[in-house]
Structure 1
Amino acid sequence: MQALALPLHLLAWLGRQGTRAVAISALLGLFLPQLSALFRPYVGEAIFVLLVLAFLRVDPVAVLAHMRRPRLIFLAFVWMQVAVPVAAALLVTAFGPASLQPDLGLAVFLVTAGPAIMSAPAFIALIGLDSALSLALIVAGMLLTPLTAPLIGGLILGDTLPIDALALGIRLALLLAASAGSAWVIRRLAGTPRVAAAREHIDGLNVLILFVFAVAVMDGVAAHFAETPLLTLGVGALTFAVALAQMGLTMLVFARTRRDQAFVLAHACGNRNMGLLVAALGGTLPDLAWLYFGLGQLPIYLLPWLLKPVATRLAADHRPRDGDHIAAPGSS
């Protein structure tokens, strides 16, 4: 056991660095093309492990507190995973299938049809808002994505959807069931108290896997920049613009909701779990779609820092009204 003391200590330390370490990982991927090519074949496996770790960290009590008042969760889900992707499908149709490259249409599908990223509660807790609400949104999205994503894929991509819509739904359902089941088995074998006590170690392992994932999805980005710098910069700027547009529209749609909660919903809508859909598609994408997927990780990891002053002001300005229930910011 003494031989494991130092590695476990380092793993816990890495877990305490949390989202800062993850953000650095995303940037390192741009400068480690050799590692990117090495890790790319394991994107699917990395996503599976990330899902297992995320389910292992789920606090059922915090989720149930929001599920008992499901109206906001339901409306947010309908907006995020029905209204937004359907609007995107209509825009794609308006441009005409012949004028839109299939891989660009696939990028539109990835960035609108998926649920919120699994690390959303960690980002939300970091900026002091309601991470339990973020977690409840993820659970609802993960449960229903196998039903909605194939329909959205058919609307946006039509015959160019890489796999059959039914097969996509089945793959998503199996991926989620396998990851949730694995987490349940680990929790049963180790015991809930031991899993709770290992929280920092789980976070450290999460950071390591996120490093592998972030580096892997950056495969080819550096080469793209060397060959077509303007296109690469344009796609990078587009990923930020799409994320901010989804966030801004969500804030407007939920303007009558408490502003701090509206920000949580906006963060979820603007930061989609594209990796989940990539895994369901077999871990491969056309060249341009992969470029968008890789660069799309940058706003996911950088926007929480850029927008933290706004979120902090929302948290400070919020004054509870009679009947309001506020979950603890760190309850994730």
Structure 2
Amino acid sequence: MKNKMQFALGFLGRHASSVLPVGVLVGLFVPYLASSFQPLLIPALFVPLTLSLVRIETYQLRRSLLRWHWVALLSFWILILRPAAVWAILQFFILPEPIVKAVLITAAAPPVTACAAIAIFLGVDAAIVVVLTIATMLLVPLSLPPMVYYLVDLQIKTGLWQLSLHLALFIFAAFFVAALIKTCMGQSRIHQNSAILDGASVIFIGIFIIGIMHGVTDKFIQQPWYVLQILVVSTLLVLGSYIFATVLFWRLGARTSMAIGLVSGNCNMGLMYLVLVDQATLDLLIFFAIGQIPMYFLPSLLAPLINRLLVRDALISTTHKR
């Protein structure tokens, strides 16, 4: 039984990019399961972040933290410049007001906590993803209320300090549990069981994807055209952010720039869902749910291209060294 479970987790870990989109389909076609997974949303955010911290070696995190000026600049890009740029672009399009509001709130969010796990699956710089995810999650209580207020005229009722404390405890707990796991397992065993750890991440990311799909199936049956609009707009937002940020920061190297593209496109709609669930309209919450679809489909579709770019960049670097 144990060997079968290890094999199953290893299989999921090795094929993570292909497996994750299945969670979207399950959430859409098995709405009862989506409803049942609602209480598991927070644990499903916590586990992938923790396991990503386990998988990334300490020296990699330290190296990214030493580039503090880049961390500060990139955090400013994610929390301030990105939503401002999205607002400017939206002025050229005519879209339903709920979609515009949802896009701007999404653009003001930090990266999704599963982003580090996806970065590991894709082979890009997961350490900078973790550092940026944590930095922006700690800063978002300061940036989100004014950005949301000025961009969409929505006043967040959740207490600023309460949100800061919850996020800080969330991150501290993830680091603490990751440190315990590293101490108990040791780095060599972590390397040996990397696919199994990745498989566990896939399961919890899948639980989150399925849980947040709650209500989407009914909305699609009632308003299919509106749901398709949301899907197109959210896909353009994610893909456009991937491309723009990757090109903008290409000078940092392929692994790092594509990691920055990933954190720029994979916004934490789940966090926005949890923060605004008591005061947001159903249309807004539906956008946060449907917006998960491109975040988990696009990495799997782009994986071959990302791999080619990484190989090409490695070959160029090797040639230059010679």
* 2: CA distance, partners of 1:157 / 1:171: 25
Shift of residue 265, structure 1, vs aligned partner: 1.7
Measured in 1, the distance between the counterparts of 2:279 and 2:11 equals 34
TM superposition shift of 1:11: 2.6
- 1:24 aligned to 2:22? yes
State the partner residue of 2:310.
315
- Give the letter aligned to residue 246 of structure 1: S
**Amino acid paired to 1:114:** A
Structure 2 residue aligned with 1:262, among 249, 252, 257? 257
CA distance in 2, matches of 1:37, 1:232: 19
Query: What's the CA shift for 1:38?
Result: 1.5
Between 226-235 and 174-183, the greater mean CA deviation after superposition:
174-183
Deviates more, 1:286-295 or 1:313-322: 313-322
- Distance in structure 1 (CA, Å) of the matches to 2:48 and 2:309: 30
Structure 1 stretches lacking a partner, 5+ long: 325-332
1:243 to partner: Cα distance:
1.1
Percent identity between matched residues is 25
Aligned length in residues:
316
Shift of 1:311: 2.9
Q: Is 1:76 matched with 2:74?
A: yes
Describe the superposition over 1:3-44 as per-residue Cα deviations: whole angstroms up to 9, x where unpaired.
Answer: 534333333333232222112222222111121122123322
- In the alignment, the residues of structure 2 paired with residue 164 and residue 104 of structure 1 have an alpha-carbon distance, to the nearest angstrom, of 25
Deviation at 1:222, TM superposition (A): 1.3
Q: Specify the alignment match of 2:13 in structure 1.
A: 15
Q: Is residue 101–residue 152 contact of structure 2 (8 Å, CA) maintained in 1?
A: yes
Mapped partners of 1:164, 1:175: distance in 2 = 16
Q: Distance in 1 between matches of 2:190 and 2:82?
A: 37
Residue by residue over 1:163-189, the C-alpha shift from the partner in whole angstroms, topping out at 9 and shown as x without a partner, is 233333233223222333333344445
Rounded to whole Å, the distance in 1 between the matches of 2:109 and 2:208 is 17
- The 8 Å contact of residues 29 and 36 in structure 1, kept in 2 or not, is answered as yes
- Structure 1 residues 61 and 8: alpha-carbon distance in aligned structure 2, compared to 1, 3 A threshold: same
The partner residue of 1:46 within 38, 44, 47 is: 44
Which residue of the partner structure matches residue 247 of structure 1? 242
Question: SS state of the match for residue 250, structure 1?
Answer: helix
With normalisation by structure 2, the TM-score equals 0.81
Which SS does the other structure have where 1:163 is aligned?
Answer: coil
Label 1:308 to 1:211 Cα distance change in 2 as closer, same or farther (>3 A).
closer
Aligned counterparts of 2:29 and 2:216: Cα–Cα separation in 1: 9
State how far apart, in whole Å, the 1-side matches of 2:304 and 2:6 are. 34
Distance 2:312 2:2 in 1: 46
Which whole-Å CA distance do the structure 1 matches of 2:252 and 2:176 have between them? 35
Aligned to 1:330: none
Question: Residues 125 and 200 of structure 1: is their aligned pair in 2 closer, same or farther, counting only changes over 3 Å?
Answer: closer
Aligned to 1:55: 53
Q: Is the 8 A contact 1:274 1:293 kept in 2?
A: yes
The one of 285, 295, 298 equivalent to 1:290 is 285
TM-score (norm 1): 0.79
Q: CA deviation at 1:210?
A: 1.8
Quick one: distance in 2 between partners of 1:186 and 1:260? 27
Instruction: Give the counterpart letter for 2:230 in structure 1.
Output: V
Give the drift of 1:228.
0.4
Offset from partner CA, 1:98-153 (integer Å, 9 cap, x none): x944x8635532x2233323343444455454444434433433443344334434
**Counting helix residues as a fraction of each chain, which structure ranks higher?**
2
Equivalent of residue 155 in structure 2, options 152, 160, 166: 160
Alignment RMSD (CA, Å): 3.4
Any idea what SS the aligned residue of 1:320 has? Answer: helix
Note if contact 2:102-2:287 (Cα within 8 Å) is conserved in structure 1: no
Bigger shift: residues 74-83 or 192-201: 192-201
Please tell me whether the aligned partners of residues 150 and 168 of structure 1 are also in contact (alpha carbons under 8 angstroms): no
Give the secondary structure class of the aligned counterpart of 1:160.
Answer: coil
Work out the CA distance in 2 between the residues paired with 1:36 and 1:125.
26
The residue aligned with 2:215 is: 220
- Structure 2 alignment gaps of length 5 or more: none
Partner of 1:178: 173
Which of 129, 133, 141 pairs up with 1:134?
Answer: 129
Give the Cα–Cα distance (whole angstroms) in 2 for the partners of residues 24 and 207 of structure 1.
Answer: 11
Which deviates more from structure 2 when the two are superposed, residues 230-239 or residues 171-180? Answer: 171-180
| Pairs within 5 Å for 1:183-198 | 183-188=178-183, 193-198=188-193
**C-alpha distance in 2 between matches for 1:171 and 1:112:** 21
